[in-house]
Amino acid sequence: AESSNLSTAGVSKSKNNWKLKSIVTLALTLLTSSQAILIVWSKRAGKYEYSVTTANFSVEALKCLLSLIALYRTWSSQGVTEDNRLSEIQWAAFILLCAGCTTAQLNPSSDHVLQTPIQGWMMAIVMALLSGFAGVYTEAIIKKRPSRNIKVQNFWLYIFGMLFNLVATCVQDFDAVMNKGFFHGYSFTTVLMIFNHALSGIAVSMVMKYADSIVKLYSTSVAMLLTAIVSVFLFGFHLSLAFFLGST
């Protein structure tokens, strides 16, 4: 009977974990797909009327506030301790994802990519390596202590984000902020964009905690597809054959 109860509890926990992974991944996909749309809408005549650095600071501050509120509501913990070696299916999916994203961004009517200087290739490779390392390292830090509450980790992460963006605001937009105010040029769309970025950041951390970096990559890739489809109706964006092939 005890063995049966343990088995039932294990199945129930597995279902709950899968449900949580699905929810946070879907949330990240929808939030990311709407980011580009809100950024475009927040512009006026192709320019930002607000200070981008103050908007970034507001995003970090909002994420910090949401994490602090969540800490007051719950103090539960959950982590992933299983082996993170990639299976053959995961490797195949990863390669397909790389091939698809590359194909979707190619322009068949231009040979500019083939004419890119070696410095451009090197910088692109370095950027890809840094981005990949940052994603995996962030996942490792979050999962290093399974008992550590994700909300505590988020809180301290966003504190540092606020500090760095505050420095950027002082360096780049100090005069504008002092003369026009911290929230000069903000509109309703700007506020929506800030909320979107804040919730997206929290969703990323949740995906890293309860899923992994590869799930995050697929989520953002699907978001790219959704953004392109919505842009067709909103901005008259034309989808190329390469985009359809890459998406497929």
Which position has the higher pLDDT, 165 or 93? 165
Q: Which has the closest alpha carbon to 23: 248, 202, 230?
A: 202
Q: Is 2 exposed, middle or buried (0-12, 13-18, 19+ CB in 10 A)?
A: exposed
Cα gap 185→193, rounded to integer Å: 14
Cα gap 187→177, rounded to integer Å: 16
Average pLDDT, the chain: 77
Structure pTM? 0.66
54 close to 173: Cβ distance less than 8 angstroms: yes
Q: Is 89 exposed, middle or buried (0-12, 13-18, 19+ CB in 10 A)?
A: exposed
Q: Is 47 helix (H, G, I), strand (E, B) or coil?
A: strand
Domain ranges within the chain, ordered by starting residue: 1-46+210-247, 51-107+116-184
Q: Indicate whether 87 pLDDT > 80.
A: no
